[in-house]
Amino acid sequence: MRTLFFGTSDFAVPSLRVLAERTAVAGVVTQPDRPSGRGQRVTPSPVKAAAIELGLPVYQPSTLRALQPELAGDAFDLFALASYGRLIPDWLLELPRLGSLNVHPSLLPAYRGATPIQTALRNGERATGVTVMLMDAGMDTGDVVLQEPVTIDPDEDYGHLHDRLATIGAALLGRALELAANGRLPTHPQTGEPTYTHPLGKDDLSIDWSWEPRRIVDAVRAFSPLPGARAQLEGEIVKVLRAHVEDGRVEIDELIAPNRGRMSGAAYLRGRTSHER
């Protein structure tokens, strides 16, 4: 089966590896290299790094229209996509013989859009899932091929849940590839009321200490370890990485303080008390 992969972030890497194990991947399309980290060093996407390791051709078009001459005349059986970051236009979706599969970390139609994992955690959900869908021109609106529900641990943070869903999504993509190869790709329309997520802004990361304790802890889990929920504490803005509810109040387990790095909540408060003496 001749395929093309679209993906950018860490979430997509396990799916790329499964696709490369089971099909002939003609190329990998990913976002252009971008500045990253404190030094703003230009860095390839995790998918580009994995593609190079696998010896696969990499395409980084500034626009998907720029990809058209590269693909003209090529015959593809299937496209696969995970966390690519752009909508795929109709002319691309029409190229593969069997269609295009998208790995999405939610039980669609719940949490369509850019931040399904963070939004589910921030909303205090106790279950989510992964969907492999057959793409259409809409945003996460295609027919469902396979779905797998996943229970969320009450203490689980974004990093842990992200990695679990990426692994489950890759396995689900592998099952879909087997079905497609056998000509038995099942599809059914999404059912239920859709909900939507949006890209994160600075305001989304802020904690308000007037919230209910459980809401605060859920917000901390949703953005840990990166980018970290922001909160005002002892007169400065800190990143809260871990917290829990104890006796009806929020206890901070770990944070990052300005110019002092990662530390426990107790060490932070001891330092502030010592400084004030």
Length, in residues, of the chain: 277
Torsion of CA 238, 244, 247, 250, to 10 degrees: 20
Rounded-to-integer distance, Cα 204 and Cα 20, Å: 36
The DSSP output letter for 105 is S
Angle 172-176-182 from CA coordinates, rounded to 5°: 150
pLDDT in 10s for each residue of the chain, 277 residues: 999 999 999 999 999 999 999 999 999 999 999 887 777 888 999 999 999 999 999 999 989 998 888 887 889 999 999 999 889 999 999 999 999 999 999 999 999 999 999 999 999 999 999 999 999 989 999 999 999 999 999 999 999 999 999 999 999 999 999 999 998 899 999 999 999 999 999 999 999 999 999 999 999 999 999 999 999 998 899 999 999 999 999 999 999 999 888 999 989 988 765 555 4
pLDDT tens-place string over residues 128-149: 999 999 999 899 999 999 999 9
Query: Which residue has tokens 């002319």?
Result: 91
Burial letters 94-113, b for 16+ CB under 10 A, else e? ebbebbbbbbbbbbbbbbbb
Cβ distance 24 to 2 under 8 Å? yes
pLDDT of 272: 67
pTM over 0.75? The answer is yes
> What's residue 277's pLDDT?
43
DSSP 34: E
HEC string of 140-202?
CCCEEEEEEEEECCCCCCHHHHHHHHHHHHHHHHHHHHHHHHCCCCCCECCCCCCCECCCCCH
CB 3 within 8 A of CB 80: yes
In the numeric block, which tokens belong to residue 262? 């990662």
